[in-house]
Amino acid sequence: MPSMDVVLEARGLVKDYRRSRAVDGLDLVVHAGERVALLGPNGAGKTTTLLMLLGVVTPDEGSVHVGGRPIAGDRSHAAEEVGFAAGYLPLAERLRVREYLRLYGNLYGLAHPDAAIDAGLARFRVEHLADAMGTELSSGQRTLVGIVRATLHRPRLLVLDEPTASLDPDVSRRVREGLRAICDEDDTALVVTSHDMAEVERLCERVVFISGGRVVADGTPTEVADRFGHSDLEGVFLHLADDRTDARPPTTAEPGP
């Protein structure tokens, strides 16, 4: 059950790119232990929002606090409380999995990260990959190792961009179970983006739909589906995608993976 501790607080986020407004006054508050999905069609502003939450993109307006620390003025300390993985990013080349994880463990301040590495690999059942080169892994294995990397330091906030994209059902289940366990054991807040609505319904207890850079729905999957008159989140997604297509031309200026 989520606690009342606020882990992530984003207020009034605005981001303009050359040809369009990518994020338009977005507010998002996430509590410890919450599992939140950030959803929306391509170009809705999800990636820009995530990058602002992580401090990699500076908002034109608004503020982001992680664990009470402002990401703008105290990025390094705020980032100590955050873990991030993206399904589309490869592992660094020419490193074995254990070397790669040690590197990131050290960057997060763990002088002796081996115990955390072993526990993380065991949690996602990929201990046998410890000595493999990063380039030898399948996309599913890379995703699992990426999540192990993001959780080595047991962050208060875990941000995952498309973690289950193109994964088989077995690996997706391992990701889901591992994430649930992490959130439950450490009260870690999870913010995840995904286009797999069924996966989201299984993993997250709260969904935030973004369209045109604004939050258009926020609640449990059932509440949000009911509000739009659909039986599931996929119906809501398609509803918003149709609205967006009717309302305005697709955005071309927003960056994204």
Partner 1 sequence: MTATPPRPDRLHGPALTWLRMRAVARRHAYVLLRSPHRLFDVTLWPLVDVLLFGALATYVARGHPTAGGKAAGYLIAGIVLWHVVYQSQISVSTGLLEETWSRNLLNLMVTPLREVEYVGGVALFGMFKLALGVGVVAVGALVFYSFDVSTLGFGLVPIAGILLLVGWTIALFVIGVVLRFGAGAEALAWGVMFVVMPLSGIFYPIDSLPTALQPVAQALPTTHAFAALRGLVDGHALAWSQLGIAAAETAVLAVLACWFLIRMLRTFRRRGLITRFT
Q: How far is the CB of 87 from partner 1 (least distance, A)?
A: 11
Site size for partner 1 (CB under 8 A): 49
Q: How far is the CB of 191 from partner 1 (least distance, A)?
A: 13
The encoded tokens of residue 188 equal 């870690």
Q: How far is the CB of 207 from partner 1 (least distance, A)?
A: 23
Asked if 171 and 126 touch (Cβ cutoff 8 Å), the reply is no
Cβ closest to partner 1, residue 90 vs residue 223: 90
Asked if 51 and 206 touch (Cβ cutoff 8 Å), the reply is no
**Contact flag: residue 51 with partner 1 (CB under 8 A):** yes
Choose which of 11, 31, 154, 202 interacts with partner 1 (CB under 8 A). Answer: 154
**Segment contacting partner 1 (CB under 8 A): 3-11, 37-45, 77-85, 220-228?**
77-85
Choose which of 56, 68, 168, 226 interacts with partner 1 (CB under 8 A). Answer: 56
Q: How far is the CB of 216 from partner 1 (least distance, A)?
A: 22
**Contact flag: residue 124 with partner 1 (CB under 8 A):** no
Q: Which residues inside 156-185 make contact with partner 1, applying CB under 8 A?
A: 159, 185
Q: What is the DSSP string of the chain?
A: ---S-EEEEEEEEEEE-SSSEEEEEEEEEEETT-EEEEE--TTSSHHHHHHHHTTSS--SEEEEEETTEETTT-HHHHHTTEEEEETTPPPPTT-BHHHHHHHHHHHTT-SSTHHHHHHHHHHTT-GGGTTSBGGGS-HHHHHHHHHHHHHTT--SEEEEESTTTT--HHHHHHHHHHHHHHHHHH--EEEEE-S-HHHHHHH-SEEEEEETTEEEEEE-HHHHHHHTT-SSHHHHHHHHHHHHHHHSPPPSSS---
**Contact flag: residue 68 with partner 1 (CB under 8 A):** no
**Segment contacting partner 1 (CB under 8 A): 33-41, 148-156, 217-225, 230-238?**
148-156
Cβ closest to partner 1, residue 116 vs residue 217: 116
* Footprint on this chain of partner 1 (rule: CB under 8 A): 15, 17, 47-48, 51, 54-58, 60, 75-77, 79-80, 82, 84, 86, 88-90, 92-95, 99, 102-104, 106-111, 113, 115-116, 119, 149, 153-154, 159, 185-186, 255-257
